[in-house]
Amino acid sequence: MSQSTSKARIRKAVFPVAGLGTRFLPATKAVPKEMLTVVDRPVIQHVVDEARAAGIEHFIFVTGRNKGAIEDHFDIQYELDRTLRDRNKIKELQLLEIDLPGAGQTSFTRQQSPLGLGHAVWCAREIVGNEPFALLLPDMLHHGDAPCLKGMIDSFDRHQGNIVAVYEVPDNETHQYGIVGIEQKGGDLGITQMVEKPAKGTAPSNLAISGRYILKPEIFDILATQERGSGGEIQLTDAMITLAKSQEFYAHLFDGDIYDTGMKIGFLTANLALGLAHPELAAPLRAAIKRMGL
CATH number where 136 lies? 3.90.550.10
Asked if 160 and 8 touch (Cβ cutoff 8 Å), the reply is yes
193-233 pLDDT per residue, tens: 998 889 988 999 999 999 999 999 999 999 998 877 776 78
Q: What is the pTM of this model?
A: 0.90
Would you state the pLDDT for residue 84? 84
Parent domain of 229: 3-291
236-294 pLDDT per residue, tens: 999 999 999 999 999 999 999 999 999 999 999 999 999 999 999 999 999 999 999 88
Asked if 66 and 32 touch (Cβ cutoff 8 Å), the reply is yes
DSSP 8-state code for residue 102: P
| Tally of domains within the chain | 1
269-279 pLDDT per residue, tens: 999 999 999 99
Confidence tier at 134 by pLDDT (50, 70, 90) = very high
